[in-house]
Chains A and B, each alone.
Chain A
Amino acid sequence: MFQVRIHGRGGQGVVTGAEMMSIAAFQGGRHAQAFPSFGSERTGAPVVAFCRMDDHEIRLREPIMEPDAIIIQDPTLLHQVDVFSGLKKDGYILINTTRTFEELGIGEFVKGFQPNHLLTVSASELAQKHVGRAVPNVPLLGAFAALCKLISLEAVQSAIDEKFKGAVAQGNKAAAAEAYNTVMNQAAKETQHA
Chain B
Amino acid sequence: MLEQCEGSHAVAKAVALSRPEVICAYPISPQTHIVEGLGEMVKSGDLTPCEFINVESEFAALSVAIGASAAGARSYTATASQGLLFMAEAVYNASGLGLPIVMTVANRAIGAPINIWNDHTDSMSMRDAGWLQIFAETNQEALDLHIQAFKIAEELSLPVMVCMDGFILTHAYERVDMPSQEQVDKFLPPYEPRQVLDPNDPVTIGAMVGPEAFTEVRYLAHAKQMQALDLIPQIAAEFKKEFGRDSGGLIKTYKTEDAETIVIALGSVLGTIKDTVDDLRAEGVKVGVLGITSYRPFPISAIRDATANAKRIVVIEKCFAVGIGGIVSRDVRSAVRNRPQPVLTVVAGLGGRAITKTSVHKLLLDAIADKLELLTFLDLDWDVVNRVLDREKSQRRSGPIAEGILRDMGNLATQVV
Contacts and interface: CB of A to CB of B under 8 A. Distances in A.
B124 interface: no
Contacts of B171: 35-36, 38
Given A26-B175, A33-B174, 6 more contacts: A34-B172, A34-B174, A35-B171, A38-B116, A45-B413, A58-B271
A61 interface: yes
28 contacts: A22-B173, A22-B174, A23-B4, A26-B175, A27-B4, A31-B175, A32-B174, A33-B173, A33-B174, A35-B167, A35-B168, A35-B172, A36-B167, A37-B417, A38-B116, A38-B117, A46-B413, A59-B274, A59-B275, A60-B275, A61-B269, A61-B271, A61-B272, A62-B272, A62-B355, A62-B357, A80-B413, A81-B416
A82 B415 contact: yes
Interface string B246-290: 000000000000000000000011111011000000000000000
B212 to A, nearest CB: 51
Q: Which 7 A-B pairs have the closest CB atoms?
A: A59-B271, A26-B4, A63-B417, A34-B173, A35-B172, A38-B167, A62-B356
B321 interface: no
B103 to A, nearest CB: 22
B193 interface: no
A32 B173 contact: yes
Nearest to B30: A38
A19 interface: yes
Nearest to B167: A38
A59 B355 CA distance: 13
Nearest to B357: A62
B122 interface: no
Contacts, number: 87
Contacts of B2: 26
Contacts of A36: 167, 171
B6 interface: yes
B402 interface: no
Nearest to B274: A59
A40 interface: yes
Interface string B348-367: 00001011110000000000
Majority SS at the chain B contact face:
mixed
A102 B2 CA distance: 45
Given A62-B355, A64-B417, A33 B167 contact: no
Given A35-B168, A60-B271, A62-B272, A19 B413 contact: no
B175 A32 contact: yes
Chain B: number of interface residues, binned into ranges: 20 to 34
A26 B1 CA distance: 13
Contacts of B352: 38
Contacts of A60: 271-272, 275, 357
A33 to B, nearest CB: 5
B414 interface: yes
B107 to A, nearest CB: 13
A65 B174 CA distance: 19
B266 to A, nearest CB: 13
B354 A63 contact: yes
Nearest to A36: B171
B413 A81 contact: yes
Interface of B: 2-4, 6, 116-118, 167-168, 171-175, 268-272, 274-275, 352, 354-357, 413-417
Interface residues of A, number: 34
B356 A65 contact: yes
Contacts of A63: 354, 417
Given A23-B4, A63-B354, A81 B414 contact: yes
A85 interface: yes
A43 B2 CA distance: 34
Contacts of B355: 61-62
Contacts of B417: 37, 48, 63-65, 85
A80 B174 contact: no
A31 B177 CA distance: 12
Given A35-B167, A81-B413, A59 B173 contact: no
Among A27, A33, A59, A86, residue most surrounded by chain B Cβ atoms (within 10 Å): A59
A48 B413 CA distance: 11
Contacts of A169: none
B414 A80 contact: yes
Contacts of B118: 38
A150 interface: no
Interface in A75-120: 80-83, 85-86
B357 A35 contact: no
A23 B173 contact: yes
Contacts of B167: 35-36, 38
A40 B352 CA distance: 12
A132 B6 CA distance: 27
A35 B173 contact: yes
Interface in A14-60: 18-19, 22-23, 26-27, 31-38, 40, 45-46, 48, 58-60
B171 to A, nearest CB: 6
B174 A61 contact: no
Contacts of B4: 22-23, 26-27, 32
Contacts of B416: 5, 7, 48, 65, 81-83, 85-86
Contacts of B117: 38
A5 B6 CA distance: 18
Contacts of B414: 80-82
A141 B172 CA distance: 19
Given A65-B417, A81-B413, A33 B354 contact: no
